A and B are shown apart, each in its own frame.
Chain A
Amino acid sequence: MYPPEFEYYQASSISEALSLLGEHSGAKVLAGGHSLIPAMNIRLADPGVLIDIGRISDLKGISTRNGSVRIGALTTHAMIAASDSTPQALSEAAGKIGDPQVRNRGTIGGNIAHADPGSDLPTVLTALGASIHTTSAAGERTLAASDFFTGILETALNEGEIVTAIEVPAPAKGSGSAYAKLANPASRYAMVGVAATVTIENGKCTAAGVAVGGLTPTATRAVSVEAALVGETLNPDLIAEAAQAVQNDLGDDILEDIHAGAEYRKAMAAVFVKRALTAAMERTKAG
């Protein structure tokens, strides 16, 4: 319950944040603090320097423009969960993170920069084909979600680079998305988490994005599942069969712990792909 010592600097603007990061090599960025502070409380993290970007108001907020929803990195899970503009899979997933208190502080930027395999948003962003906007002293860049997450607690962020915004396609007519999760009974992290988005036009599925997380080092695009759906008329049997195909996409590196072994998690991947797809399909009717 007693974090180790660190130096602390507060940035009131993005440029100040970058400058501080430049000055203090190895510094960690503090946003909502709900991945970093718990780690420091049990002394699993010992960052010598923290740069607090939590007050940079430019980085907070959700806006829709040109068919794209842009979510500032400091937008909290509670804000996303309450939003009508973000794809449902995203607001649904945000609403399943932790609990109300955690959601009031945790941010999407902090969550994805931390890249815990058991977290929910990376899976959703992977399924939605999100773009991650960053900035650094070297300039701005945009990464695809599938390129952003590189391993357990690892991202493509360079030192001194911070996430500024996440962009996802705005929910289109005929599309529906959902997030379904098998939660660890103790931590309530995702042992398996599935995000699915489908678009139905003239009775056929024209697009599908399915990603599975929780059981792999990074979220995985379930391309076999997607292939089984696109061009087809979706029905429960087809969805069930397509869900089974996820086994081809998971790879060999399946995470395990005392709550769930690999065999169970892989089987649950198919179960939750089915659940997420079923819910997503239902929601296409509302659009």
Chain B
Amino acid sequence: MGYVGESVRRVEDPRFIQGQGKYVANLQLPGMVYAAIKRSPYAHAKIKGIDVEAARNMEGVVAVFTGEDLIKGTKFSSPCGAIPCGYVPSDTKVPTHHPLAIDKVNHVGDGVAVVVAESAYTAHDALDLIEVDYEPLPAVVDAKAAAQAGAPLIHEEIADNTSYHWVLGNKEQTEKAFAEADQVVELDLINQRLIPNAMEPRAVTAQWNKFDEHMTVWTSSQNPHIIRLLLSGFTLGIPENKLRVISPDVGGGFGSKIFHYPEEVIVPWVARAVNRPVKWVARRSESFMTDAHGRDHVTNCKMALKDDGAITGLQVYTYANMGAYLSTFAPLIPTALYITLFSGLYKIPAIWGETWGIITNTVPVDAYRGAGRPEAAYLLERLVDLAARELGMDVVEFRRKNLIPADEFPYQTPVAMVYDSGNYKGLLDKAEEMAGYQDMRKDQAEARKEGRLVGIGVSGCIEASAPGPSPIVTTLGSAIGLYETGSVRVHPTGNVSVFTGSHSHGQGHETTFAQVVADELGLPMEAVQIVHGDTDRIPFGTGTYGSRSAAIGASALVKSAEKIREKVTRIAAHQLEAAVEDMVYDRENGTIHVKGSPDKAKTFAEVAFATYYAADLPEGMEPGLESTTFYDPSNFTFPNSAHIAQVEIDRDTGEVTIERYIAVDDVGKVINPMIVNGQIVGGVVQGVGQALWEHGKYDEYGQLLSGTMMDYALPRADQFPNLETGRIETPSPHNPLGVKGAGEMGTIAATVTIANAIMDALAPLGIRHIDMPLSAEKLWQTIQSSDNGGAN
């Protein structure tokens, strides 16, 4: 067979290309009613009163509930609990987060009431009839400003709006490195707020069976079991054995669909209260003010250097905007997924990082593609670029000089991470070669003579993927271990159902996981069916994010398949009256035969049936053929990349054209090259979005100025050339497949690659750094006010 490594066409595509995707918004249930949520137009305000009478009395309205109703409960629906934070490092102060606000609202978009009506149109009409008496309060949106004395206090129990302060590194060595440095390069930079904008807006539907006291919740989530656990343990109070959570087809997530959202509590609670199925679908502008946002760091960072170009130390101080509440994984992102990556690809002996997590009157911030690693890569690669320039070194040469050599793996960084494997030099060499870097510089020199602003951007990035070993992540503050579940069930007629706790919302697991299991068992892919997204069918799962599914989810399946092979081999041996040690499991043909006698064989299907027929099994062996593994990885994986981009800035307008983009990535072993390439390209385009156009921008009153796609610029097809992609493959030693994870590397690298390219273009004008997004206006203004200004 040999499916792994092949670009197998996706088995899930037929339903999507024919309009048969099962997105939550498509659900039609008999008697269904529609929910709409009344949301605060203020960033910070007390709720003096809510008058729902007129809304209640509107024709077609079934019910209206407020935050008070949810926490008090009704005759039919018991009280809701507050939404917890799922990642709480010690000394983290967690604000109370009710599904609907009670006393005050803390961001524009904070929900205060829910209407259910016979049609979605009527529900939205009814929203206009709900009167909320607000007493506006001063708002603060900037993280640094919110942490200062005198800033408006958002949660009584959280002084200075500071939820946590997290540090990591070798402080003494770092202070020494800086004291002894030949040069220090310092940067103040902003990693701006982004809004994920998966194409499918979030949706939740719930159906209550009052006779069985059973609730089914359909939610567009990346991790239905986690949602079930949180609903059961904290917010809805229905025991897990009476609660089914289904995440069917989900239209993209990028992190924004990991978290436990208020609507996941409100909708089932209401379904129980009115005893009818309830559907809620976000409008896009509603998504803008409710989906978790990404990034939003204000950072001061410094790099210590020797004159010969060696990096000797790094210090980073970050104010990380948490938004108004702590979203499910929020404190993880700017701490254990950020500071721990500060070594990058380089040997940096001394690193010290501190992050303050600050509450502000904005939408909560949490993981968004890369989740902490893009922020780390950005500051590091900007500093590296500046350091090279200050020392008069070529940016590629400078990086090459500082790379961790291939013979030093496993490499212990000063910030906890132990890198598993890598060929960083090979990576950089390959990118250089593919780009024709020397020729690029020659062409740039020619262009510069004509006064053209051509820039070449380079980045070398690493990230930690596949969170993560349960003892480590729980120590760090995770409320749950991050293993993954994988069951392989062989049916009597020899075909296979696979139940994975991973979730596919674009990653193609129905194909890639089938490739893996088919290879492991020696079956044609058509005989392997992948099931995901339903807590009733899958024992448990921790979900898909952090590029973890192949490394952990597929590895769990490898382990289960191994156990299946063992049992099959023992049965075949028994049936062929041979010793187990004398048997060969032929994965090419799906047969088990006696060593040296290929005609003395059993097929997989024959053995499968035999285990259920159970007439003659080895002494003490149970009938049946299925295996479940809870696979806990032994380490994170470390995908890495070297990207090079060539851009040109139109002097007259400041607009940027991307001429070429070269991406060389090491994502470990590749299961499906076509799918991996798709992830890299998609990731790069998202990363470029941050560099050039995207900004979740608030005004000082907490109004979201980029509140629709009319003002939030998403990447479009006509803004990109075809990417030139290359691969280096250094298998991860930490999982049986050797994979590292490909979902986020493109985004992590692309943002800073383009930023570096633009800074390179502006270098002749003496420009040192500009914050993103590097909009046309910003670049034009920079060009105008620089030394050379408009001069040609």
User: Interface on A for B, CB 8 Å cutoff?
Assistant: 1-2, 4-5, 42-43, 182, 184-187, 257-261, 263-264, 267-268, 271
Contacts and interface: CB of A to CB of B under 8 A. Distances in A.
Contacts of B697: 258
B706 A258 contact: yes
B285 interface: yes
A185 B777 contact: no
Contacts of B121: 2
A2 B122 CA distance: 9
A268 B653 contact: yes
Main secondary structure of the interface of A (DSSP, over half): loop
B510 to A, nearest CB: 30
Interface of B is mostly: loop
A4 B121 CA distance: 8
A42 B708 contact: yes
Given A42-B285, A185-B775, A268-B653, A259 B125 contact: no
Interface string B709-726: 111111000000000000
B120 interface: yes
A264 B713 contact: no
B693 interface: yes
A5 B714 CA distance: 32
A186 B711 contact: yes
B167 to A, nearest CB: 35
Contacts of B120: 1-2
A1 B713 contact: no
B124 interface: yes
B527 interface: no
Contacts of B285: 42
A258 B780 contact: no
Contacts of A184: 713
Given A2-B124, A4-B125, A182-B653, A260 B710 contact: no
Contact of B709 (A186, A261, A263): A186
B125 A185 contact: no
Nearest to B773: A185
A186 B712 contact: yes
Given A2-B121, A42-B285, A258-B706, A185 B653 contact: no
Given A42-B285, A259-B711, A5 B780 contact: no
Contact of A264 (B284, B708, B781): B781
Contacts of B124: 2, 43
B705 interface: yes
A26 to B, nearest CB: 19
A60 B619 CA distance: 86
Contact of B713 (A5, A185, A263, A271): A185
A253 B359 CA distance: 39
A187 B695 CA distance: 14
A267 B651 CA distance: 12
27 contacts: A1-B283, A2-B121, A2-B124, A4-B125, A5-B125, A182-B776, A184-B713, A185-B693, A185-B713, A185-B775, A186-B706, A186-B709, A186-B711, A186-B712, A187-B710, A187-B711, A258-B695, A258-B697, A258-B705, A258-B711, A259-B711, A259-B777, A261-B777, A264-B780, A264-B781, A267-B784, A271-B653
B433 interface: no
A257 B697 CA distance: 12
B652 interface: yes
Nearest to B286: A1
Contacts of B705: 258
Contacts of B777: 259-261, 264
Interface in B759-792: 775-777, 780-781, 784
A268 to B, nearest CB: 6
Interface in B670-727: 692-693, 695, 697, 705-706, 708-714
**Which of A4, A43, A186, A268 neighbours the largest number of chain B CB atoms within 10 Å of its CB?**
A186
Nearest to B784: A267
Contacts of B692: 185
Nearest to B651: A271
Contacts of A4: 125
B710 A186 contact: yes
A186 B694 CA distance: 9
Nearest to B285: A42
Contacts of A186: 693, 706, 709-714
Contacts of B283: 1
Identify which of B120, B777, B784 gathers the most chain A CB atoms within 10 Å of its CB: B777
B700 to A, nearest CB: 13
Nearest 7 pairs of A and B residues by beta carbon:
A186-B713, A185-B713, A2-B124, A187-B710, A264-B777, A271-B652, A2-B121
